[in-house]
Amino acid sequence: MNQGPKFMAELLGTFALIFFGAGAILHQNATQAVGVTGIAVAHGLAILVSLYAFGHISGGHFNPCVTFGMVVTRRLSWGDAFSHWIAQLAGAALGAWVLSIAYPTGAADAHLGAPALGPAVSPMTGMFLEGLLAFLLVIVVFGTAVDDRAPKGFAGLAIGLTYTANILACGGVTGASFNPARAFGPALMAGAWQDHWLYWVGPMLGGAVAALLYDRFFLSRA
């Protein structure tokens, strides 16, 4: 398959994550009607529907740390990875831009849904937690979508629920991005770059560790 459909699939899937997920944050900021549970469910549903719509086209990463996990385990070439990353960042930026139009007043208060550390959370703690959340996500990705022994047809549900559970666990601590593209799009459009580095370093390292662990320990002993 040429790269065009894969690029567009990753772009649209990541766009949906920002539009639904960050959109729920902005709706909560405007109306106080959504709550943390609603925000978590919105992110999970965005990933679930995007995986079922586009997973068979591009692999359904929608997250640079998932793509990086595929690279370090040699399931994806560096060229394909860079194409995925560009598509993911573009989709995230486009999603945040649309939200800036949909919520012209009050969006700045929530920085278009850009993740932020809680007041008592240090950057190093935030980096560790974001890495842990990405680790758990990539373990589920490999266990349900990569491992041939997994039950068929449930990867989208399992991965979507992992997004939901991660946000319920740490949404109030780090913003629970565990996805550099999810952090990048709103940060770019809102100009909210404080501690932005940790939303890249933690998830990329956590995702790589999870991918290598599953590949070298669980799959090698199958």
Tell me if 49 sits within 8 A of 213, measured CB to CB. Answer: no
Q: What are the backbone dihedrals phi and psi of residue 147, each rounded to the nearest 5 degrees, phi first?
A: -70, 120
The predicted structure's pLDDT at residue 1: 56
In the chain, alpha helices (H): 3-16, 23-31, 35-58, 64-72, 78-102, 123-141, 155-170, 180-190, 198-213
State which fold the 3-104+116-219 domain adopts.
Glycerol uptake facilitator protein (1.20.1080)
pLDDT tens, position by position, 124-174 = 999 999 999 999 999 999 999 999 999 999 999 999 999 999 999 999 999
Model pLDDT, residue 153: 93
171-205 pLDDT per residue, tens: 999 999 999 999 999 999 999 999 999 999 999 99
Residue range 53-101, pLDDT digits in tens = 999 999 999 999 999 999 999 999 999 999 999 999 999 999 999 999 9
What pLDDT is stored for residue 76 in this prediction?
97
pLDDT reading at 2 higher than 80: no
- Token pair in block for residue 219: 């799959």
What ranges do the domains of the chain cover? 3-104+116-219
Q: How far apart are CA 192 and CA 156, in angstroms?
A: 31
Question: Which pTM does this prediction carry?
Answer: 0.95
Are 119 and 94 spatial neighbours (Cβ–Cβ below 8 Å)?
A: no
| Nearest in space to 211 (alpha carbons), one of 152, 143, 160 | 143
Rounded to 5°, angle at Cα 38 from 36 and 43:
95
If you search the block for the tokens 């770059």, which residue do you land on? 193
Give ∠ CA 40-14-18 in degrees, rounded to 5: 45
Angle between helices 180-190 and 78-102 (to 10 degrees): 40
